[in-house]
Structure 1
């Protein structure tokens, strides 16, 4: 895989308050450049949700209402997040979720495409018992020594997802092959289905 041929790509991860639909409590945006996660230009934001964090969500990511009470509200950071995302491709694990939540919070945002590392893992490694982020970390053993924070925080999970993406991408010869395997139908960047030839 020639990583220099990739378009602008940002690995994203979001954490929510546990409500349905969720309010955001954390967003991480990690550029991938020339086959490496670029932590020097990454963006990360904590935000105080409009509705309280549920006890279950707080147990998962550790972001309690007390931790977030002095953080800015979404209206105060949304422009910065939108500017950071721009129109680049994004990648995420179980990307439907991140794309849906970010789109709900940023109605004007339109990524060029959406890579799903969960979909990619199923294509690259058929037959694994599980395809969760933890299961793939255990199976592929990516180098996470440079990961910021801890598991279930957006910065750590974005870094782990980036490392997994790069490991799996090495199994493909081109960006187009990667896209064909990794972009879910109906999301931006999905290849157009081939049209059946007709007589007319």
Structure 2
């Protein structure tokens, strides 16, 4: 995201086909997670976002950017007791938070035109839809395609009872964070899952390069899809 390097993440080591691919090495992977409210009759509204930007350099993951922000939801989408029970976030905490335009605009400005990005998310359809619905506030972010850790994991670790984040954490012996279901904590453990999957992919002949990974786990941002206007015109 154009920031100074903050450190090298654990999980260096074997340089296989995927992590030796020039396209993979040229990509900044941004692990992203939202917490949201789901008001009746409206699409989900974000109340928190976290992003962790990563590059694979010299056999190890390096953090090149990190950010998190609470987001003030509109009046029609209050933080409900159910949301508080899941996330720990309260109406009082988000009342004075930045607006979606402020919070997502600040995140959007960290995506520079000179870099190649892919978003990484657990169940990426959820994040993709939320980003698309907020695209007026984050036009650059809304044009970044995604990688979904669920089909990535299904390809590499077949036979799990399900592919929920908690199941993947248990499979890879990744410790559950104390503040699970907060955006920053979920981004950190999703990144750990992604590291394990990339390491396994290095030994998978079907995942020899980034294009193969995208074919298995990629999701095109809706803003990048061909327009369908007039398809059903009579």
Normalised-by-shorter TM-score class: 0.7 to 0.9
**Structure 2 residues without counterparts, runs of 5 or longer:** 1-15, 202-207, 225-234
Aligned residues: 184
SS of the equivalent of 1:44 reads: strand
State the partner residue of 2:89: 63
Normalised TM-score (structure 2): 0.70
Corresponding residue to 1:152 among 155, 160, 181 = 181
Contact 1:82 1:106 in 2 (8 A): no
1:104-183 matched pairs, under 5 angstroms:
104-107=133-136, 108-109=139-140, 110-142=142-174, 150-172=179-201, 173-183=208-218
Kept in 2, the 8 Å contact 1:18–1:56? The answer is no
The equivalent residue for 1:195 is: none
Q: Give the TM-score normalised by the residue count of structure 1.
A: 0.81
1:29 matches 2:51: yes
Question: Is 1:93 aligned to 2:132, yes or no?
Answer: no
Q: In proportion to residue count, which structure has more strand?
A: 2
Pick one of 75, 79, 84 that aligns with 2:101.
75
Give unmatched runs, 5+ long, in structure 1: 191-200
Q: CA RMSD in A?
A: 2.4
Structure 1 range deviating more: 95-104 or 4-13: 4-13
Structure 1 distance, partners of 2:95, 2:43, is 20
- Indicate the residue corresponding to 2:110 in structure 1: 84
Q: Please list the CA deviations of residues 86-137 of structure 1 after superposition, one character each: whole Å capped at 9, or x if unmatched.
A: 5621010000110110111124234342100011111111111011000100
